[in-house]
Structure 1
């Protein structure tokens, strides 16, 4: 028996079909101790001009990642309808409760937005937001750009990425937009935990999905914020939605072909890296050491690269737990 889903409890204060520039909210009723008839208010901007493709731009899928929100709040402030053909939907803080708290997951329900799809209209706050994207926003979109960075626990070389897909036409279009984005690095992405992801939800609908990892450490630099904003505009131009000339930037393509790209810690302690991001390492090379911190005089545990390649991501900050991903090594390939 097919289950009929309830309508989403989220209502939009903007008209997605109206021409012009609109700033408003996605309002989710949320009864809580300090507001019995309260709401979660998720800022949204819609810029529409006639017929054409729709781009859905999202940031703060994880609330402690800032390059995307910086770029999207700026774009929402400055984008003019006269320069658009089609529609741009901008949600700078997709997981607004997490963004407001500066945390990866929601402080309301501990929900990880990027592991909550397809969501539920009668579920937790995070599941309700995911459901709205799944059933309302994603079906409107032709192109989806979801900004990520390392948050408080990872640091990345700044890259734009898409996934290897069964549909090679869909895959090729995604990689064309990755190339246009123009990040310093571009990645053929391998996910180590893809269940419930926004990426998967969009791709299964046939949408052209592009993402990023633009830095980390729970902050954004002038460089990484600039990469996000320039890349976003480039992507909209390449998608035929925004008028303008591409700000072409050179990019080095990377590939993450298998699980050997990832090095995990089996121990807790303080980490000392013996290589820095952007350096080339060899298979078997010690890339980090974990020092036990309960007492002095103990030898550190060595963590070795499982493949040769470019040191692309690392754990952040200085303490690790068993199971933490501490290093990612990628292959440099031709674009």
Structure 2
């Protein structure tokens, strides 16, 4: 039989499930959490949603995964955090923590004495990431983002972690799997992977809309990974994903209005005009041109754009 398990203030006995609020030092908000301790020994897995508070489909998927898991089904231990950034969720704050205006998914491993997002990142890493063997971080299009579902893993020098992360990322019924070479510094999955924990991000759903279809896609993918890792019984299903090594991000260098000339899923050639930025009088300030040949995976749908805001990303 498996032994009891403690994460911060929460503990779960063998062959039991606990629902409660995770309390982290110096963090005002309490994080809803499911702890499930299986009837047999096995890996320890973290599933998260809500690192970005308005990515509702991923939050719904994580919540339903946590609610549905039973200790009798599980060979191992799981912690599920469906709303990992409650301040952003309840403030309906896109991208950033409402108190310091910093993107939590750029702050890891965080700072113990930092700003709100930096402290949350620090304590999530210290109290949760370092207590598990695998991490699955669920995301989706924020309120102003459209995207094609995709998964990302971190390309680390640790071959064992790299291969495990790549395999996990390929177990969703999703067309595109991206190997990221640190293009997104401070991310959950990059931080975990560099600490020896295989980790991925899975993205589905968009524009702040709760999509049942995409929630089910994420739920199915997570359960497929749990089967692959041996936590659940069954046979993991392989998918025919396209593996990408380039995730080419485009950001605005000015404040203005954004008019994309492409849609998500479009194939684009190098040199194609992807959209234009205009000023408040309608004068074109800049045309955004593709650096690569690939597929538009992510696209900001907001007319209003601030300096340094993302505009779109092309996978190649």
Which residue of 1 is the match for residue 276 of structure 2?
289
Following superposition, the deviation at residue 17 of structure 1 comes to: 5.4
Distance 1:164 1:202 in 2: 12
Q: In structure 2, which of residues 3, 28, 42 is the aligned counterpart of residue 52 of structure 1?
A: 42
How has the CA–CA distance of structure 1 residues 69 and 179 changed in structure 2, closer, same or farther, with 3 Å as cutoff?
A: same
Native 8 Å contact 1:121 1:127 kept in 2: yes
Instruction: Let me know the Cα RMSD of the aligned residues.
Output: 2.4
Which residue of 2 is the match for residue 140 of structure 1?
131
Following superposition, the deviation at residue 156 of structure 1 comes to: 1.9
Q: In structure 2, which of residues 68, 80, 100 is the aligned counterpart of residue 78 of structure 1?
A: 68
Aligned length: 308
Following superposition, the deviation at residue 55 of structure 1 comes to: 0.5
TM-score normalised per structure 2: 0.88
How has the CA–CA distance of structure 1 residues 110 and 64 changed in structure 2, closer, same or farther, with 3 Å as cutoff?
A: same
Which residue of 2 is the match for residue 35 of structure 1?
none
Distance 2:64 2:86 in 1: 17
Which residue of 1 is the match for residue 31 of structure 2?
42
Task: Kindly provide the CA deviation profile for residues 260-288 of structure 1, in whole angstroms up to 9, marking residues without a partner as x.
Answer: x2233334332222221111111111111
| 1:212-223 aligned within 5 A | 212-223=202-213
Following superposition, the deviation at residue 128 of structure 1 comes to: 3.8
TM-score normalised per structure 1: 0.83
Which residue of 2 is the match for residue 21 of structure 1?
17
Native 8 Å contact 2:22 2:33 kept in 1: yes
Native 8 Å contact 1:30 1:40 kept in 2: no
Native 8 Å contact 1:263 1:306 kept in 2: no
Distance 2:114 2:26 in 1: 12
Q: In structure 2, which of residues 197, 203, 206 is the aligned counterpart of residue 207 of structure 1?
A: 197
Q: In structure 1, which of residues 296, 300, 314 is the aligned counterpart of residue 299 of structure 2?
A: 314
Native 8 Å contact 2:155 2:182 kept in 1: no
Structure 2 unmatched runs, 5+ = 1-6
